[in-house]
Structure 1
């Protein structure tokens, strides 16, 4: 299978630099930043104080700085929010104009392995790299693997990170100590079962509208999120997946990705 490489114009970079860069981010994000090494890539998020997703991001260690790979449409908003938290910390937060590249279907030299799931390939920031695929190709591959795109699938401050599978995709370090929204996130983990999860939804034909209701008989079983012909991401009730599911009268089926643990008795574990 030919390795594919694409540039993601939907993603953009923020550079956080200065003596306090790592501890500053470490105290805010769901991921351990203090121990990140040069060339290492981690996945995480900035949450609201009540524990809902505000920004999904990748964290990349450089020699002296930390790069944040974020949704391009939300980069300015994240820079503004980080600047608000800065107070007296010795850090600089600024846009970095290097491109975001992804490679999949085989190892690619110079690409850091995607920390969520190896099948997603790797990511690279900057450099002269020839592309042979489009961002649309990448989105199709992402849906095949079954990984949500939190920016597309989870409107800001509406979704809990565990509902978007951050606990199963290495997006939360529960051992690192405090971060914004930790109390709610840790409480959901301790309970051991999650009511809603994002999972791929398969069907024939074009994707239903964003927000379309998924029914199990007369019971609401979830809603459709972003998608394309044949497959979409959906937020589903894990206790209502048995039986015939429909959207707008059309038969649909939920597919459990390989990386998602089995769902026992209508519940799903909060970590793999």
Structure 2
């Protein structure tokens, strides 16, 4: 067992997604088918996934767009934090990234999936984003499109699923969903953020994932979100309000979502400067809460220590789990904030085991 500098137990290893290329697709309208933990658990977060029966979760809170054209790679390269060439040239099948504003704050968290056209040579990718921000993402892309030879379209007939093992202890390095009907899976790729998030599956709306994968059952979306919060993975506008988070505080480096070797992109200057100074004083961390009368605590509520010192802000909650932006100097202390009725809600932060060992900041 390892301990970090604030005394929190850390069970972790560096996870490198095994990313393959995506299966064939013609286009958006001609696609080839292809226990509630106790308080003692709060400081120990297990993020591994294991062998066993698979559970798939329909991600209705995520939308899919298609970006296609001969300028697709150059166009997206200037708008996102990660290097698009990892997707188009290095053979990775999925890529995580953020789109930033000019102040260097996160607007949208996105996932890109490589598509190979059955006709023509144009680059084509699927772009996953928060469904409530889909139109905003499209406007953002079209604003910077100018004369680029790209087309941007919504893919309402496609459905995104998350695939996780039923039991999530152990390792899943050699676990890959076994497909019963590969031709019905447009995309089946490991989640690039962390191995603990399993796999991403894209199918046509008329296709059930239970028909596509062997030994699979459908789960409730709430289980998926609880898993995310337990291991500390943010996703969507609720966890990353547009224009508010700083990408490094949101653990973008840890989730393989940024390249510091690529060329310029919108919002790069502040992000690169912060990275090279090596100083990140706050981080989005998983927390275990003692909720007041079952109320859902508000996002953005200020956190304080028992002595009243500012300690960050609470971001999102599901039951007794959630995400908070925590000042690392107070990460090992019991923290609290006020619920809407004035009741104090206490919480404890924990260090995810999937965080890398060689991080520059110290707790």
Q: In structure 1, what is the equivalent of residue 194 of structure 2?
A: 117
- Taking the aligned partners of 1:112 and 1:171, their CA distance within structure 2 comes to 16
Matched-pair contact (CA < 8 Å) for 1:45–1:53 = yes
Q: In structure 2, what is the equivalent of residue 208 of structure 1?
A: 297
- Taking the aligned partners of 1:39 and 1:235, their CA distance within structure 2 comes to 31
Q: In structure 1, what is the equivalent of residue 68 of structure 2?
A: 17
Match of 2:145 among 86, 94, 102: 86
Matched-pair contact (CA < 8 Å) for 2:129–2:236 = no
Aligned residues: 268
Match of 2:243 among 140, 147, 157: 157
Residues 184 and 233 (structure 1), Cα distance of their counterparts in 2 relative to 1, 3 Å cut: same
Larger Rg: 2
- Pair 1:33-2:33 in alignment: no
- Pair 1:224-2:325 in alignment: no
**Structure 1 gap segments, 5+ residues each:** none
1:34-78 C-alpha deviation (Å, 9 max, x unpaired): 341477001001100111101110011101411100001111111
Instruction: Tell me the TM-score normalized by structure 1.
Output: 0.91
Matched-pair contact (CA < 8 Å) for 2:130–2:236 = no
- Taking the aligned partners of 2:226 and 2:176, their CA distance within structure 1 comes to 19
- Taking the aligned partners of 2:359 and 2:248, their CA distance within structure 1 comes to 17
- Taking the aligned partners of 2:298 and 2:102, their CA distance within structure 1 comes to 31
Residues 35 and 254 (structure 1), Cα distance of their counterparts in 2 relative to 1, 3 Å cut: closer
Matched-pair contact (CA < 8 Å) for 2:332–2:348 = no
- Taking the aligned partners of 1:48 and 1:230, their CA distance within structure 2 comes to 32
Matched-pair contact (CA < 8 Å) for 2:332–2:349 = no
Aligned-residue CA RMSD (Å)? 2.2
- Taking the aligned partners of 1:145 and 1:233, their CA distance within structure 2 comes to 10
Residues 25 and 230 (structure 1), Cα distance of their counterparts in 2 relative to 1, 3 Å cut: same
Matched-pair contact (CA < 8 Å) for 1:199–1:236 = yes
Q: How far 1:134 sits from its partner (Å)?
A: 2.0
Q: In structure 1, what is the equivalent of residue 115 of structure 2?
A: 62
Instruction: Tell me the TM-score normalized by structure 2.
Output: 0.69
Residues 263 and 247 (structure 1), Cα distance of their counterparts in 2 relative to 1, 3 Å cut: farther
Match of 1:256 among 351, 356, 361: 351
Bigger relative CO (Cα 8 Å, ≥ 6 apart): 2
Q: In structure 1, what is the equivalent of residue 262 of structure 2?
A: 176
**Structure 2 gap segments, 5+ residues each:** 1-51, 118-123, 166-174, 179-184, 211-216, 339-343
Matched-pair contact (CA < 8 Å) for 1:22–1:33 = yes
- Taking the aligned partners of 2:266 and 2:289, their CA distance within structure 1 comes to 38
- Taking the aligned partners of 2:297 and 2:335, their CA distance within structure 1 comes to 13
Q: How far 1:244 sits from its partner (Å)?
A: 3.2
- Taking the aligned partners of 2:318 and 2:66, their CA distance within structure 1 comes to 33
- Taking the aligned partners of 2:220 and 2:74, their CA distance within structure 1 comes to 36
- Taking the aligned partners of 2:362 and 2:274, their CA distance within structure 1 comes to 12
